[in-house]
Amino acid sequence: MKQINASIITIGDELLIGQTIDTNSAFIAQELNKIGVWVRRRVAVGDAWDDIWQALDEESQLADIVIITGGLGPTADDITKPLLCKYFGGNLVVNEDVLKHVKYLFEQVYRRTGIMLERNLKQAEVPDVCTVLHNARGTAPGMLFKKGGRVTISLPGVPHEMKGLMTDQVIPRLLKEFEMPVILHRTAFTSGAGESMIAEHIKEFETALPSHIKLAYLPGYGMVKLRLTAKGDTKSTLEKELNDQFEQLKSLVKQWLVTDTDENLEVVIGRILKEKNKTVATAESCTGGYIAHLITSVAGSSAYYKGSVVSYANETKENILGVPHSTLLSAGAVSEETVTQMVKGAIEKLNTDFAVATSGIMGPDGGTQKKPVGMVWIAAGNKEKVVAKEFHFRFDRERNIRQTAHTALDFVRKFIIANS
């Protein structure tokens, strides 16, 4: 079966100068991949007519589907709609359904007083050569164009609106428009070995993979995800073949395997705690609540997460977590003794089964010859036992914080498994 290729074009000067991070492309690519569309290229262009036009020309030569986001607002720099109108040879006309929806939003949802601005009413203007895609979450409609057997779709750049249109409008229409091939993924999450070490360990497996199954290495903070991707025509046959290869891969990396599902550590820990009917808390110094943020980003985490003490100052370590003043004077805040007591204090104060604690020097300043920037102590424990370990990270402040948080999550995961 012919592979269906897609290109994603994101529009906006704010993307090029780094003022806004492009999360739209990632979501669009994930949704397209689910239905068997292979995203071949992702392109970002500024709010410049010639650049957008050139991107459309180039991507239309490569892709069966081109999806554009951005440039559909009511301000002067939003030029996507008139450009698409000229590109596809149409004229702007008022769509009565869109106009009705815009008025409904302003009058009933936003509850704006006064006369609606002309620039807002112009949101109802669309090229007469497109299929209008209803945007239930905003005023800028999506637009679908067909030319030369290809489909071009324009979506608003506001992530909340774009996601609604992708889910409700774009995906169902693409499934009707194209006969999709099958693309399947299986992902193993490993921790404790670097990308190079794992690659060397499984090199014979990787070499022996059939041509339609590819292995990708996805390194992260203290972990490596191994993703097998298979492409074919028959789902049942492909699924069996992929599963067989994936079982071989899991067996080869079993000493480092965290989970055989594409999920993050905070999800893995939550599932383990729910299965064991246990709870956890965090006592954070150098990570400043980032571990708590990761854990609570998972829906339903209140079932197993009790809370956090962000003991950034030494007096908080003393007054709330019970770290002795003498310990802070003799061993220091960044020490085995301090994080051990932080764990004990969190378990007592928050009445939890397990706790994890962090204390370190994230940089760029604050390090000494004895305790350099990047030095971190992490402890995990329960009411009977606490274990602690010293780590050294070599990155900038932001990455040191993230590396410490992910390392701490894996540290407490291993402790929970070993001591439940």
Residue 113, pLDDT score:
72
Q: Which of 12, 31, 17 is nearest to 70 (CA)?
A: 12
For the record, the structure tokens of 27 come out as 């979501």
- Which residue ranges of the chain lie beneath pLDDT 50? none
Euclidean distance between CA atoms 188 and 155, whole angstroms: 34
Q: CA–CA distance from 339 to each of 223, 408, 414 (Å)?
A: 23, 12, 17
Q: Which of 109, 86, 97, 87 is nearest to 142 (CA)?
A: 97
Q: Which residue has the tokens 């020309």?
A: 57
Domains belonging to the chain, first-starting first, are: 4-177 (3.40.980.10), 182-259 (3.30.70.2860), 265-418 (3.90.950.20)
Residue 1, pLDDT score:
62
Output the pTM of the full model: 0.80
Question: What letter represents residue 361's amino acid?
Answer: I
pLDDT in tens, 96-120: 999 999 888 888 887 777 776 777 7
Instruction: Give all strands of the β-sheet with 354-360 in edge-to-edge order.
Output: 305-310, 280-284, 354-360, 375-381, 386-392
Residue 74, pLDDT score:
79
Euclidean distance between CA atoms 410 and 193, whole angstroms: 13
Question: What letter represents residue 2's amino acid?
Answer: K
